[in-house]
Amino acid sequence: MNRNQVRGESKVVAGKVQQGVGKAVGSTNQQRKGINKQIEGRVQKGVGDIEKAFKDTAKRLDDE
């Protein structure tokens, strides 16, 4: 895993926690912030997935 994949996944987890805490205390603002953080994390993880795919493809082409 690359840096974007790891950071993205950690944002998803943090967002889920924040959303859960917001739900537990009845704060829709914290729930929204948690959902937004999850989305941000999924996007960052997707960028990391694309980077990894490009690197893997480039390595495969170099090996041929």
Q: 11 is written with which tokens?
A: 């944002």
pLDDT for residue 36: 98
pLDDT for residue 64: 80
Domain count, the chain: 1
pLDDT for residue 63: 87
Supply the range of the domain harboring residue 22: 3-63
**Residue 2: helix, strand or coil by DSSP?**
coil
**Phi, psi (degrees; rounded to nearest 5) at 52:** -65, -40
Is the entire prediction scored with pTM above 0.85? yes
Q: 33 is written with which tokens?
A: 């912030």
pLDDT tens string, the chain, 64 residues long: the values are 999 999 999 999 999 999 999 999 999 999 999 999 999 999 999 999 999 999 999 999 998 8
